[in-house]
């Protein structure tokens, strides 16, 4: 059996990694951490000094950061065919990093009430939220999937951002986002991951 442990909380970005894990089809063990206690433990700080979920431990390798977890799992378990082919690599990394950087930062800042002053857009890696939305719209509309004509790990990550953003109202509900989300989530692994995390969430709420 694969020595793979997944550290998560079902009410977190851990859902992105869960979806990716389910896509790979490999066996893994889950450790659910609570925000109130176990996430702050020294044992978990040794895994992720940021004290944040998700993280995975694969043998002696620890990976944190959802985008890195998606890329790592795609390359480590190639049978799932979620890593990019040579002709997909450019778009794959481009949009994976765009989502982990400009998209994440602009959406979070805006949700927290921070608006880039118009004359300071050059300083911000994402420029403005409006530019990020327009760019994301083009990215998800150019081809069927973010890196070309087939689903890759980059779709797990970009799709998850769009899913959270539309769910929380932090990403504008443009038809291109809604259509892309429907395309990328119409997958058994996505549905399986959702059921597992929804059940884990209910179990946590019962014990709270």
Ligand X SMILES: N[C@@H](CCC(=O)N[C@@H](CS)C(=O)NCC(=O)O)C(=O)O
What are the residues binding ligand X (CB under 6 A)?
12-13, 35, 39, 51-54, 65-66
Shortest Å distance, C-beta 11 to ligand X = 8
65 versus 131: smaller Cβ distance to ligand X: 65
Shortest Å distance, C-beta 129 to ligand X = 18
Give the residue closest to ligand X by C-beta.
Answer: 52
Task: For 121, list phi and psi in degrees, rounded to 5.
Answer: -55, -35
13 versus 110: smaller Cβ distance to ligand X: 13
35 versus 97: smaller Cβ distance to ligand X: 35
116 versus 160: smaller Cβ distance to ligand X: 160
Nearest CA to 21 out of 202, 207, 194 is that of 194
**CA 63, 160, 22, 18: dihedral to nearest 10 degrees?**
50
96 versus 146: smaller Cβ distance to ligand X: 96
How far apart CA 88 and CA 100 sit, in angstroms, is 18
41 versus 142: smaller Cβ distance to ligand X: 41
Shortest Å distance, C-beta 52 to ligand X = 3
Shortest Å distance, C-beta 9 to ligand X = 7
Nearest CA to 72 out of 56, 52, 54 is that of 56
Shortest Å distance, C-beta 175 to ligand X = 27
Shortest Å distance, C-beta 14 to ligand X = 7
């Amino acid at each position: 059996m694969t020595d793979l442990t997944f550290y998560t909380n079902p009410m977190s970005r851990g859902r992105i990694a869960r979806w990716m894990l389910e896509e790979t089809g490999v066996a893994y063990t889950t450790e659910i951490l609570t925000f109130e206690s176990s996430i702050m433990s020294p044992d978990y700080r040794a895994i992720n000094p940021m004290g944040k979920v998700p993280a995975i431990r694969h043998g002696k390798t620890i990976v944190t950061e959802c985008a890195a977890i998606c890329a790592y799992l795609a390359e480590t378990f190639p049978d799932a065919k979620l890593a990019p082919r040579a002709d997909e690599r450019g778009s794959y990394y481009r949009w994976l990093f765009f989502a982990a950087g400009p998209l994440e930062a602009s959406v979070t800042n805006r949700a927290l009430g921070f608006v880039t002053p118009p004359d300071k857009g050059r300083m911000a890696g994402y420029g403005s939220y409006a530019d990020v939305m327009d760019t994301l719209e083009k990215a998800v509309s150019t081809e069927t999937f973010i890196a070309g004509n087939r689903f890759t790990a980059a779709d797990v990550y970009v799709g998850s951002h769009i899913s959270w953003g539309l769910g929380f109202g932090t990403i504008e509900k443009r038809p291109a986002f809604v259509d892309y989300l429907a395309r990328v989530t119409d997958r058994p692994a996505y549905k399986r991951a959702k059921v597992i995390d929804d059940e884990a969430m209910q179990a946590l709420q019962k014990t709270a």
